[in-house]
Amino acid sequence: MGRKGPPPQDNFSIFRERYADPHSDVALRIEQEVFGHSSGVDGFTTLEEADDLASVLNVGSRCMVLDIGAGRGWLAGFIAEASGCHVVSSDIPIEALVESNRRFSAQDLAGRASTVAADARVLPFRPQGIDAAIHSDVFC
């Protein structure tokens, strides 16, 4: 979409490595202190901002929300819990999606939350199948 500046340098490898690396206890404690949750985040979205995002979506239990570049899926899981909607967590590194699935199971979101390995530029969804799409620090 008209970006200029240098192209990302092998972002896939960087993120794959990052998601495969479990966060240390001290890193998770810092996340909890700063963001209000400890989920191995890679962006800057706080719990308060996630709540604001859920509010503007205004979705309910019959809605499908797609999280683009979802990483470990904390934001998708938060939105699903906050609104009762269905969520799809999409990203490219399989390591991130494995973590998403683990999180959704722990949150008892089975049946309402799923993952898709997909590039945000070519999302594999049928036309008009998604009620809302969210992203956080993905398109910068």
Partner 1 sequence: MLKPDGVLAGYIIHTPPGLTPVQEQEAVDLGPSAVGAEASPAEMATAAGFREVGVRDVTDMFLATLDRVISARLSCEARLRESEGDQVFADEQGENEGRRRGVLSGLLKRSLVVARK
Return residues touching partner 1 (CB under 8 A). Answer: 1-9, 24, 26-27, 29-30, 33-35, 43-46, 48-49, 52-53, 56-59, 66, 68, 123, 125-140
Cβ closest to partner 1, residue 70 vs residue 97 = 70
- Altogether, the residues listed in the chain come to a count of 140
Q: Contact at 8 Å (CB) between 31 and 23? A: yes
**Residue with smaller CB distance to partner 1, 4 or 111:** 4
Say which amino acid occupies 50: A
Q: How far is the CB of 99 from partner 1 (least distance, A)?
A: 18
With beta carbons less than 8 A apart as the criterion, state whether 96 and 122 touch: no
Q: Where are the beta strands (DSSP E) in 59-122?
A: 64-68, 86-91, 113-117
Q: How many CB atoms sit inside 10 A of residue 11's CB?
A: 11
Nearer to partner 1, 33 or 111 (CB): 33
- Work out how close the CB of 31 gets to partner 1 at its nearest, in angstroms, rounded to a whole number: 9
